[in-house]
Structure 1
Amino acid sequence: MNTFDELLAGRPLVAILRGVPAERAVAIAAAVWDSGIGVVEVPIQTPDAVDCLRAVAVAAAARGALVGAGTVITAEQVTVAADAGAVFTVAPGLDPDVVAASHAAGMPHLPGVATPTEVQHALKAGCGWLKAFPATSLGPRWLRELRGPFPEARFVATGGIGPDNAGDFLAAGAAALGVGGTVTRPGGLEALLAVLRP
């Protein structure tokens, strides 16, 4: 099983393609992959979204690129994600059954956390990378303070991230950023990459 240490090494962007038609999702995903600093997540809340994940996964396989499934909140969805070609799973919250199912399927899981208790339980469940969600509600200071008692945790700040605040979350210690709306708007990805590129 790949780990997020490997999947996100040198890639501070997780581009979230929620509700995007498959053809456009493939085009956005290609731009993210071409940047060299991102991976792609397709949330799978609807049958159309699963079809979109499958299309992006085919494009990813042809390029040696990476795509995961987002909003995976049941063990059954883990199976759907794996069958559609995902190589990792992401959730808005922490569910030990989903963590176990994802790991059993050979995929690392990125659970959502918003409290010290959730961070502690996620680490105990074998998740070293955690989705700080909703990031803008938690704020950069939350990340900075949680890194004190949990220095081993790697946070992907997700929710309301864009070019204007990405640097604040990175400066606070985020290892990566999960970005949805910005990357799907015209010109948004380019503006974000300008901030994220070294």
Structure 2
Amino acid sequence: MSGNTGFDELFAEAPLMVILRGLGAERSLELAHKAWDLGITSVELPIQTPADVEALRVVADAGRAQGKAVGAGTVITPEHVRQAKEAGAAFTVSPGYDREIVGASIAAGLPPLPGVATATDVQLALRDGLTWLKAFPASVLGTGWFTAMRGPFPQVRFVATGGMDASNAQPFLDAGVRVVAVGSALADETQVDRLAALLKPAPRPGR
């Protein structure tokens, strides 16, 4: 088993990711293009149904054409890893830490982003060579969790997922989160624009 430092490059351009869950191919592609156009380069599509897998295939194809990484989410079985690989995903995301899924993903050439919620989870992941981890559910864990984890685990880069939106993303980024991932909040059509606004530098005093 090796690490997941591939996310250093995948998440280098913007500290945000959109999660397009159960939206179908057409709507997912529309929102993915909007996110990319606004500077949000990372997109995840959870794969829980055949329609989700087809949506992933469509968006991943479009992403490759633009040099954008599209990942498969809610990957919890070896079959999901296979489906993600065949659909053209660039990485996998899981809600929890499962060494079998991590190993299968690495073997398929897909950097894994497993979920953690405790110091024990983080320590186990580090033992397996992983430095990028999904903290889930981030809104329940709270910003203080990330501040606390920086002490014993300064080398870990966290992706905050679960209950995140444009209104609470900045405090988590300020707490040391490297990427904020927003999913269900995207039902609000203003979310992508509001998230993209976080990428713009704050105006200087007097401007």
Question: 2:195 is aligned with what amino acid?
Answer: L
Q: Contact 1:37–1:197 at 8 Å: present in 2 too? A: no
2:176 is paired with a residue of what secondary structure? coil
Aligned to 2:89: 86
8 A contact 2:5–2:132 mirrored in 1? no
Instruction: Please report how far the alpha carbon of residue 128 of structure 1 lies from its aligned counterpart in structure 2 after TM superposition.
Output: 0.9
- Residues 150-177 of structure 1 show CA distances to partners (whole Å, capped at 9, x for unaligned) of 0000000111111211111001100001
Q: Please report how far the alpha carbon of residue 32 of structure 1 lies from its aligned counterpart in structure 2 after TM superposition.
A: 1.3
* SS in structure 2 of the partner of residue 173 of structure 1: coil
User: Partner residue of 1:135?
Assistant: 138
Distance 2:48 2:40 in 1: 26
> Conserved in 2, the CA contact under 8 Å of 1:143 and 1:174?
yes
- Say which of 95, 104, 107 aligns to 2:107: 104
Q: Distance in 1 between matches of 2:85 and 2:18?
A: 19
Contact 1:111–1:127, Cα closer than 8 Å, also in 2:
no
SS at 2:163 equivalent: coil
Which residue identity is paired with 2:48?
Q
Flag structure 2 segments of 5+ consecutive residues without an equivalent: 202-207
Does 2:78 match 1:75? Answer: yes
Counterpart for residue 191 of structure 1: 194
Which residue pairs with 2:151 in the alignment? 148
**Pairwise CA distance, 1:185:** 2.4
1:17 and 1:41 in contact (8 A); partners too: yes
Point out the structure with max Rg over C-alpha: 2
Measure how far apart 1:107 and its partner are.
1.0
8 Å CA contact 1:12, 1:38 repeated in 2:
no
Provide the alpha-carbon RMSD of the alignment: 1.3
Partner of 2:204: none
What corresponds to 2:205 in structure 1? none
- The corresponding residue for 2:25 is 22
| Count of residues in correspondence between the two structures | 198
Query: Does structure 1 residue 118 correspond to structure 2 residue 121?
Result: yes
Return the alpha-carbon distance in structure 1 between the equivalents of residues 185 and 15 of structure 2: 15
Report whether the alignment pairs 1:66 with 2:31.
no
Aligned to 1:178, the other structure's residue is in SS state: strand
Length-normalised TM-score, structure 2: 0.92
Deviation for aligned residue 1:184:
4.1
Cα shift readout 1:121-150 (whole Å, capped 9, x = no counterpart): 111122210001000100000001011100
Identity of aligned residues (%): 54
Q: Deviations over 1:1-41 (max 9, x none)?
A: 87000100022111100011211100111111122233000
